[in-house]
Structure 1
Amino acid sequence: MRGATAGRRQLDALTFALFSVALGTNVPTPLLLVYRDTLELSESDLTAIFGCYAVGLILALSVSGAASDRFGRRALVIPFGVVAGLVSLLFIPAAESLPLLYAGRLLQGAVSGVVFSVANAWLQELAGPEGQQSAATRGAVSTSLGFAIAPAMSGVLAQYGPAPTALPYLVHVGVLVLGLAALRGVPETVHERRPGRLMHLGLPREARRPFRALLAPTALGIFAFPAVAATLLPLLVVPDGVGVAYAGLLGGLALGSSAVAARVGRTAERGAPLGMALGAVGFAVGVVAVVLESEPVLLPSAVLLGAGGGLCLTAGLTLTARLAPAETRGAMNSAFYAFAYIGFGTPLLLAWLTSAFGAVPALAAFVAVPAGLAVWLWSELRRTVPD
């Protein structure tokens, strides 16, 4: 009993540490409206700043998982957790510097790429073979909660508190210190050096087709859906009138729905196609919001898009844990997250399509993408993971 209690405490500590890093990633999201005014940024600038997060993240993912398989989980999670705090502090002077904003988001992506992939592998190993589903749910929920709380907290502090472009980041640093301190009692789970190439995505041969057919398309919805809800749709509906607190509410609502869906959507076989279907409906409601120029209609759109992303996250992590051998678990988690964070480029892609074809035609046409993926995933899951 004592051993089980200690194991749960270790899982709780690592879960909280993962949450504390995730909390920092969306602090800048509602503040983009502040930066738009202080730096006179265009919508393309805003979506590019938001999207370059994915560039740093994917670069980090190409080496972090394999490096943690070789050197251990603690060796990467703790140092990069410290860097996450330093990056938050970098954003404070970035309010008056466009290059620093880009640098901050790029570094934030790199830190997230390391911590999210490696910490999830660490959780899976701490939980053991019988706890894979629980570990996947912990990773999905803690990450989603961090993503969800950050924009709501940041938006409220920025609109109603002092130092709007500094206080939200300082609050994150305080939470992060507690999260890293909690890791002191969490043991390393990699006990032997595992030689191999550091720059690879670690897909074992037998898992390559299921990864391409199931995990890669599932991953795309995880952040594409809430990113569009939190950034692009508010700008399209009320280009000059959305308040920082309201933008934070939309981001928090989308990512909060993602966290709830990640917690309740435990059935991997159904979560992926259902998540894509919800994303398609969320995009359709977003089109209605743009046509009507209605802020209230953005609320159900944000809920649907966020829930779709959360279902995709739990489904993907569960299938990744099922497919990954122990010696490549970190690398395979990195591969999954690499595809997931490609979704952060969706607002930038849609902003470009909107400028070329108009907001309503671009968004309406895009509804077909998650709808088609939902049908594809349902078919592939019946073939690959039969009842």
Structure 2
Amino acid sequence: MSANTDTTAPAGARQPWLRVAAALAMAAWGANQFVPMLLVYRAERGLPETLVTAMFAAYVLGMVPTLLGGAWFSQRHGRRLMVRISVVLMAVASLLLLAGADVPALLFAGRIVAGAGVGFAMGAGSAWVSALSSDRPAGTGARRAALAMTAGFGLGPILAGALAQWVPAPLQLPYAVHLVLQTLAAVAVWNAPEPRPETTALLRLGAVAETVRHQWFWTIVLPSAPWVFGTVAVAFAVVPSVTGPLPGLPVVFAAGAAAGIALGTSALVQPLLRRWASGHAATLILIGMGTVALGMLMAMASALWPASWWLPVIAVVLGSCHALLIVGCMTLVELNSPPGLLAPMTAIVYCLAYIGFTAPWVVALLALVVPAWVALLVGAVVAVATTAWLVRCRRRG
């Protein structure tokens, strides 16, 4: 990949990838600031569990088409344009959520627009960070992008939970704060330098189809990617409802803190995996899936024998799973994607990963007819089966 940058890059910028990473972090922040608000809407507006968890999952509807389309068009029109669209959409999403305290339709719209903004950022933005990290060892860009998004996913709910718990206007102020920070990120990334795009394999559906048929993708990434976000979604949107909040913390802030513990653990663990990632990405995924099985069994136990101490323990375990899986999957993608297909392949893997964010909604629906521990047991069985599949594939080479 060419390292040439355009003339819009600010003179003397030493770490331009940080500007793109800031936009990724703010997109993730805007996506996940809704976590503690689930409790606020239930308490302040009396909205049912199934409705608020549906709102939580709704942004997948906006994310999937823009993640795929944005990554694809970035190959022809550049990654900067896609990220510019993202920062605008994320600001619009926070405005809709801010105005939607008493209008569920606006909340749904805000979540879908937020999903669209995240979609435009993820594939193109991750590929942009990788391009700006081409002077570093292979896999560095993927890890930097994943860490930036993990930091945003973790910090967003913590601050939103604190604001919703302790300051006036709990249904508006968290979104107003994100709007200000999102504006600053937009200014930072708007004219960030962009390496010239690859000219090979552009807009070739056949090349993408050929890549996803490779064994590394369909035997390793495909079955494990949905657990990337499925793990943390269970940790902060399901487990608190069966164990109770963290001791000594108000309930709304505790919900944000649970997300912060899970994703904060992931952010701390990811850099520790740097040495292993490039040469042992598949092993990281196998270890991650084994740990997922353990975490889901612990979640089931917490539903059978509720106690608040379960929450931080499970959050740490499932947060570690998130780190292992996202680093493993993204590193495999960066190392194995052909030139010019990194953004579309990253987008495809993130689409698979985001399936996991529907887990709280599925559990809420199942809880209408069966106990919560049964739904979590089903998840544990699927995790065990996936781990066994990866072991079998490893033994067969």
Q: When the two structures are superposed, what TM-score results if normalisation uses the length of structure 1?
A: 0.90
The question of 1:264 aligning with 2:289 is answered no
- 1:148 matched to 2:154: yes
List aligned pairs for 1:63-78, cutoff 5 A. Answer: 63-78=69-84
Following TM superposition, by how much is the alpha carbon of 1:91 offset from its aligned partner in structure 2, in angstroms? 0.6
State the Cα deviation string for residues 68-119 of structure 1 (Å, max 9, x = none).
Answer: 1111100110122122112112111211111111111111111111101110
CA 1:203/1:7 → structure 2, altered by over 3 Å: closer, same or farther? Answer: farther
- The answer to whether the 8 Å contact 2:38/2:53 transfers is no
Shift of 1:320: 0.5
Aligned partner of 1:319 among 304, 307, 332: 332
2:208 corresponds to: 203
> Does structure 1 retain, via aligned residues, the 8 Å contact 2:243–2:307?
yes
Q: Tell me the residue number matched to 1:114.
A: 120
1:255 corresponding residue in structure 2 = 263
Q: Secondary structure at the match of 2:368?
A: helix
Q: CA 1:256 to 1:102, structure 2 compared with 1: closer, same or farther past 3 Å?
A: same
Q: Is the 8 A contact 1:49 1:105 kept in 2?
A: yes
In structure 1, stretches of 5+ residues that fail to align are none
Alignment of 1:253-292 (within 5 A): 253-266=261-274, 267=277, 268-292=281-305
- CA pair 184-355 structure 1, distance change in 2 beyond 3 A: closer
Q: Would you tell me which structure has more helix in proportion to its own residues?
A: 1
1:245 corresponds, among 237, 253, 265, to: 253
Give the paired residue count: 379
Partners of 2:339 and 2:331 lie apart in 1 by 14
- 1:203-262 deviation per Cα after TM superposition (whole angstroms, max 9, x unaligned): 2514423222122223111111111111122223349x9710111111111111222232
Matches within 5 A, 1:207-226: 207-209=212-214, 210-226=216-232
- Looking at structure 2, the residues matched to 149 and 287 of structure 1 have their Cα atoms a distance apart, in angstroms, of 27
Q: Give the equivalent residue in structure 1 for 2:8.
A: none
Partner of 2:68: 62
Distance, in Å, in 2 between the alignment partners of 1:373 and 1:234 is 25
1:186 equivalenced with 2:192 (yes/no): yes
> Take 2:296 and 2:19, find their aligned partners in 1: how far apart are those partners?
36
2:314 pairs, out of 295, 301, 321, with: 301
Cα distance in 1 for partners of 2:260, 2:52 equals 18
Task: Say whether 1:41 aligns with 2:47.
Answer: yes
Identity of aligned residues (%): 31
Corresponding position of 1:20: 26
Mapped to 2, the partners of 1:255 and 1:201 lie a distance apart of 36
State which drifts further: 266-275 or 302-311: 266-275
Q: 1:43 to 1:23 in 2, by over 3 A?
A: same
Q: For the structure 1 residues 14 and 50, does the alpha-carbon distance in structure 2 shift closer, same or farther, using more than 3 Å as the test?
A: same
State the distance in 2 between where 1:201 and 1:248 align: 43
Deviations 1:117-170 (A, max 9, x none): 110011111222753321111111110010001111111111011221122112
The CA distance in 1 between the partners of 2:306 and 2:43, in whole Å, is 22
Bigger mean CA offset, 261-270 vs 70-79: 261-270
* In 2: Cα distance, 1:237 partner to 1:323 partner: 41
User: Residue 365 of structure 1 corresponds to which residue in structure 2?
Assistant: 378
Relative to 1, partners in 2 of residues 1:192 and 1:302: Cα closer, same or farther, differing over 3 Å? Answer: closer
1:197 offset after TM fit, Å?
A: 5.1
Deviations 1:41-73 (A, max 9, x none): 222112211111222211222311111111110
Greater displacement, 106-115 / 291-300: 291-300
Q: Residues 61 and 113 of structure 1 are in contact (CA less than 8 Å); yes or no, is this contact kept in structure 2?
A: yes
TM-score (norm 2): 0.88
Aligned 8 A contact 1:65 1:201 in 2? no
**Equivalent-residue separation in structure 2 for 1:71 and 1:201 (angstroms):** 20
Instruction: Report the AA paired with residue 26 of structure 2.
Output: S
Aligned-pair distance for 1:331? 0.9
Please state how far the C-alpha of 1:363 moved relative to its aligned partner: 1.1
Q: What runs of 5+ residues in structure 2 fail to find an aligned partner? A: 6-10
Contact kept, 8 Å, 2:208 with 2:345, in 1: the verdict is: yes
**Once the 2 structures are TM-superposed, how far is the Cα of residue 376 of structure 1 from its aligned partner?**
2.3
SS at match of 2:26: helix
CA distance in 2, matches of 1:81, 1:321: 24
